[in-house]
Structure 1
Amino acid sequence: MMRADNHTVFDPVTYILTGIPGTELSHFWIAIPFCLIYVGSLFGNSLLLFIILTEQSLHEPMYLFVSMLAAADLLLSTTTVPKMLAVFWFRAGEISFAACLTQMFFIHVSFIAESAILLAMAFDRYVAICDPLRYTIILTKSVIGKMGLVVVTRSFCIIFPLIVLMKQLKFCRTNLLPHTYCEHMIIARLACDDITVHVWYGVAVAILVIGSDIVLIAVSYGLILRAVFLLPSKDARLKALRTCGSHVCVILMFYVPAVFSSLAHQFGNIIPGYIVNLLANLYVLIPPMLNPIVYGVTTKEILKRVINGIWVRPGTGFAAH
C-alpha cells in the first residue's frame, strides 16, 4: 500500500478504493442487495440479448436497438460491480493506476453509448409513428449497423482524451479513492496540478453531448405527440402511445439518476458524502437491472418468447406450475 503526504509528487502505482465512506460497518450488508441486483442485471440483459439475436422475427430496428442497450448495460455493470463487491466483502480495494483508468474509460464510454442509443431509439419511434410507410426504407439493417458503429466511435472519441489528460497529471495527495469505482473527477481531485481543464471538459461533455441528446430526444417526442394527437381514432392514439411507453420509462430511468448524481457531486459540501456515493452506485446498478424488465414486460413479442422459451419449450424439463 502506497501513501504520500501533501508535499510529495509521485506516480500512482496502486489506488485503494475505500467503498462508501461513513458506512464501513454496513459494507457487508450493503453488498448483498447490490449482488442480487447485479445477478438480476446479468440474467435479464443476457436473456434479452439471447432472445433478440436468436429469434429471426425480432431482427427489426426497435429490437436491435434494445439489444445494443442490453450490451451497454452489461458493460456498465460488469465493469463496476464485481470490484465493488470485492471492496465490500473482502476489503480488496487495491487497483492499479492502469486498471483504474481502464475501468473509468469503460464506465464513461458505456454512459455516452447508452445516451446515443436512447437517441437512436427515439428516432426509430419518430419514423415508426410519423412516417410509417417509409419505416423499412429508412431504417434498414445496413443503416442500423452504421448507427451502432457511430455510437461506439462517438463514445470512444469523447472519452479517450480524458485518458490522455489523466496521464499528464502529477499526484501529491493520497492514493485512497473514497468511492467503490474509478470515476473521472474522483481521481482528478487527488492531483496536485490544476484540474480546470478536467472540470470544463466534463461540463462540455455534459452540456454539448448529453444535453444535446436530451434535447433531440425531447424534440422527437414532441413531434411524436403532435402526430399521435392528429390520429383520427382514440384506439389508434393509445396504440401509438403504448409503443413509446417502454422507451420513455427507460429514458427516465437512465437520465434521472444521472442528473441527481451529478447534482449531488456539485453540492457535495451540502449533501453528506455517503449520500453522494450511494447515488453514484445506484446509478450503475438500477438502470441495467430495470431496463430488461421494462422491455420484457411491456413488449409483447419479447414477453411471449420468454414465456415460450422458459415454461413451455418441450424437452427442457421445465413445466408451468
Structure 2
Amino acid sequence: MLVMILAAGLTPAWQRVLEFDQLEFGKVNRARRVSAFPSGKVINVGLTLHKLAVPSVTLAPLGGPSGERIRADCERQGVQAEWVRTCVETRICTTLIDAAGYTELVEPGEPLREDELNAVIAAWRRLAATASVAVITGSVPQGTPADCFQRMLRAASPTQTVLDLKGDELLAAVACSPLVAKPNRQELATTLHRPLPTDADLLEAMQELRRLGAQWVVVTDEERPVHALGPAGLYRLTPPPAGQIVNPIGCGDCMTAGLACGLYRGMDVLAALTFGLACAADRLRHLSPSDVDALRAAQLAREVEVCKL
C-alpha cells in the first residue's frame, strides 16, 4: 500500500544562524541573537512535509554530535525518519544575517564509506515500496560516485519522483525518468556546462533535460517567475508578492516539499507546483528554513499566476 512521501538526501546539516545589526567583515562582530536547528535540503524538505501534515519519512545519513542534535530535534518535533549512522560527523553550516541581507557559509559533506552509502540505498529500497511520492534532494558528500542517486532509483523508483539535484548527479538520475527534475537556473547552467542568459537558452536546456528522461522540468530563478516544461508545453508561474522577507534560505526546499505534498494529495503537476510556490512565498516570512503556514500557503496559491507560453 502506497501511504507516504519519502524524502532522501546525503547531506543534512546542523544550521547555526547569527543575527547582527550590521555585519562588518574584518572586524569583531557580536551577534545579537543566535539560533540553531536541523537543516540541509533533505531535512528542510522532511520538516516542511511534517508541518504540512502529510505522512512522510526522511532518510539521510547522520554522524557525530551534530548528527545527534539533528536526530534529537527531529524526534522532539515528531518527524518520522530513518537515519543511517556514519563514522564522520554531519556538517555544520552557518548563516549570517544583518539589515543588508544574509551570507551563507556552507561546509561540504564529509565522504561516506561504501558500506554507509549501501546502507542508505538499502533503506531507500525498503521505504520506497510504500511511497507514492519520493523526493531526492541535495548535494553529495565529497568523493561520492555521481551515479549514487541513479543507483537508488534503479533499486526502487516510485512513479512520482521529484529530483532537486544538479551536476552529474542530476544527469545520471534523469535517465530513470523521474516525474519532475527541479534545478534552479544557475544549477541547470552548471549541469549543462553553458550559460543560460536568455529565455531561449533556458528553454533549450529544459528540452535537453526532457530528452534525457525527465517528464517535467521545473526551473526556479530566484524571485523571478518559475518555468515548467512538460508533455503539453511550456508554462510560466509567477509567485505572489513576497511581502516581508526574514530569511530566503530554504525557499526552494519549501517549494519542493509543497510540490510533493500536492502530488501526494492527487493534484496534477501544475496544481502541485502552484501550491509549492505558495509554500515558498509563505516561507520568506520565517527564520527557519522549514517553517511554513499551510493555511496561509493555501490562500497564497490562489494568487499564483499560471500562463501557457
Bin for the TM-score computed over the shorter chain: under 0.3
Of Structure 1 and Structure 2, which has the larger fraction of its residues in strand?
2
The structure number with the bigger radius of gyration is 1
TM-score (norm 1): 0.27
Of Structure 1 and Structure 2, which has the larger fraction of its residues in helix?
1
